[in-house]
Amino acid sequence: MLLSPRSLSQIQKINMPYIPHTPNDITAMLATIGVGSIDELFDEIPTDLRCGQEKVPSFLTEMEIGQLMRQRAEQNSNAVCFLGAGAYEHHIPAAVWEITTRGEFYSAYTPYQAEASQGTLQLLYEFQTMMANLTAMEASNASLYDGASALAEAVLMAVRLTKTKAKRIIMPTTVHPIYRRVVNTIVKNQAITLTEIPYDIDSGTITLESLAHLTEADIAALVIPQPNFFGGLEAVDELTDWAHTQGIFVIGVVNPMTLAVLSPPGEWGIMGADIVCGEGQPLGIPLSAGGPYFGFMCCKKAYVRQMPGRIIGRTVDLDGKTGYTLTLQAREQHIRRSKATSNICTNQGLMVTAATIHTALLGTKGLQHTALTCHANTTALVEKLTDIEGVNRIFKGPFFHEVVLRLEKPVDEVLCELTTHNILGGYNLMKFYPELGNGLLVCATEMRTQAEIDNFASQLQRIMKK
């Protein structure tokens, strides 16, 4: 069969080598739209808000990307993990991701004709119900980007709610250091001040005495982590009541897994926390080369219109049948940017799907069992390690998930040698807490066996004796 001239031209185009864009192409583009330079294209952004010259890496073909991903996958460690610091290795039932990756869920990111996706909306509604129950709060949104940006959003929300227009936030240094850096990045150009409060050197927690001098009228909120970054348990009841006595909002930053056994934020003190946020990774999300994770946020019903993100509601149609709808969606993709409660327009629908399925499978008893096993394993780990000469626990008091140890050897050297024995031995605190010296944050979830704990102690003892 003879090919038509049109078919021949199409085949020729397909076989032509791909020529990447060149600087001349960029110049031509700028000339076409009537702009002299890339800087001029973005001249509406004030100079003091610019980050400087950002270098975008060169493009890769699909084959090259595939090869790169395979190389990255080969670098994944199968070491026994005693590292926590905000990301935790928990058991995930096989059913969780078998269901999550079904086409009905896997390809549904954030439906813009939401009411046409009743299955997705129902799942998000169930997620909100679970999170509200876990935190003992009255309302929950349908996820945020991650735990760190969720805290930043909670800070912005508290400032919006403050009738006095106060713009100072009390930020304890026991809050995750990465969270504090993210919050500072997001709020520093919005005239919001973060006042850091040091921890007590004996307990590793904040005290009422450290807050006594903070009585100024410009304070909007107090952030309370539970557990804190060191694994210590803050005196949440006393801190919450102090803040409310001062007319200050309380923002709780919590690990959702711990709420199966710890007092939920909605029950802190007399009135409970006002806003609650955190990282949802412990609920069915694997440790996957740094992400993706998802943030959650809950609040009292009175403040729900200032809560960022989507809120799913349940209603009935004209025939009396149950239906689900987007009740509140004041985000920048729905309304004017200047009116949005959040300008981070990404939620984490797929992660929330996995978390909802995971939580439903475990149920109340399953979550409690997991949390209690984590605590038992961490306790056993600490007892084993502190029996070693040159290894001591720094802080006193109750803990959950994690404990800070002090070594009589440089932590980096110890961790490096442990990796040669297939052990991720913890998190070096020197970068963010140099005052602790050779501080090591260790963690043991329900995944760790007694044999793994014994092997860790044996290898550490051998290293410390060198």
Check whether 19 has a pLDDT greater than 60. no
For position 159, what pLDDT does the model report? 94
Please state, for a pLDDT cut of 70, what percent of the chain lies above it: 91
Q: Three-state secondary structure along the chain?
A: CCCCHHHHHHHHHHHCCCCCCCHHHHHHHHHHHCCCCHHHHCCCCCHHHCCCCCCCCCCCCHHHHHHHHHHHHHCCCCCEECCCCCCCCCCCCHHHHHHHCCHHHHCCCCCCCHHHCHHHHHHHHHHHHHHHHHHCCCEECCCECCHHHHHHHHHHHHHHHCCCCCCEEEEECCCCHHHHHHHHHHHHHHCCEEEEECCCCCCCCCCHHHHCCCCCCCEEEEEEEECCCCCECCCHHHHHHHHHHCCCEEEEEECHHHHHCCCCHHHCCCCCCCEEEEECCCCCCCCCCCCCCCEEEEECHHHHHHCCCCEEEEEECCCCCEEEEEEECCECCCCCHHHCCECCCCCCHHHHHHHHHHHHHHHHHHHHHHHHHHHHHHHHHHHHHHCCCCEEECCCCCECCEEEEEECCCHHHHHHHHHCCCEECCEECCCCCHHHCCEEEEECCCCCCHHHHHHHHHHHHHHHHC
Q: What is the mean pLDDT of residues 30-52?
A: 83
What does the pLDDT average to over 341-365? Answer: 87
pLDDT band at 23 (very low <50, low <70, confident <90, very high): low
96 or 57, which is more confident: 96
Peptide bond into 227 cis (omega under 30): yes
What pLDDT score was predicted for residue 439?
96
For residue 18, is pLDDT > 60? Answer: no
Q: Which residue has the higher pLDDT, 231 or 58?
A: 231
Residue 292's pLDDT band, with cuts at 50, 70 and 90, is confident
The architecture that CATH gives domain 363-465 is Alpha-Beta Complex (3.90)
Q: Is the pLDDT of residue 9 over 90?
A: no
**pLDDT category, 20, cuts 50, 70, 90?**
low
Q: How confident is the model at residue 346 (pLDDT cuts 50, 70, 90)?
A: low
For residues 354-370, give the mean pLDDT: 95
Reported as a single tens digit per residue, the pLDDT across 138-163 is 999 988 889 999 999 999 999 999 98
Mean pLDDT of 281-295: 89
The pLDDT of residue 5: 52
The stretch 165-174 carries a mean pLDDT of 93
Whether 247 shows a pLDDT value over 80: the answer reads yes
pLDDT of amino acid 333? 58
pLDDT score of 28: 87
Does the structure show a pLDDT above 90 at 289?
Answer: no
Per-residue pLDDT tens digits for 414-432: 999 999 999 999 999 999 9
* Distance between CA atoms of residues 199 and 435, nearest Å: 12
pLDDT of 290 reads: 75
Q: Look at residue 111 and tell me whether its pLDDT is greater than 80.
A: no
Would you say residue 464 has pLDDT above 60?
Answer: yes
Q: Percent of the chain at pLDDT above 90? A: 67
Q: Which residue has the tokens 């929300």?
A: 157
- pTM for the structure as a whole: 0.85
Closest of 387, 393, 366 to residue 283, by C-alpha: 366
pLDDT at 104 over 90: no
What is the per-residue pLDDT across 377-404, written as a single tens digit (0 to 9) for each? 999 999 999 999 999 999 998 999 899 9
Q: Hey, which of 86-90, 111-115, 117-121 has the most confident mean pLDDT?
A: 86-90
Domain range annotation of the chain: 94-359, 363-465
> Between these two residues, 338 and 438, which has the higher pLDDT value?
438
Average pLDDT score over the chain = 89
Q: Is pLDDT at 21 greater than 60 in this prediction?
A: no
pLDDT at position 271 over 90 = yes
Return the pLDDT at 335: 65
Topology (CATH level 3) of domain 94-359: Aspartate Aminotransferase; domain 2 (3.40.640)
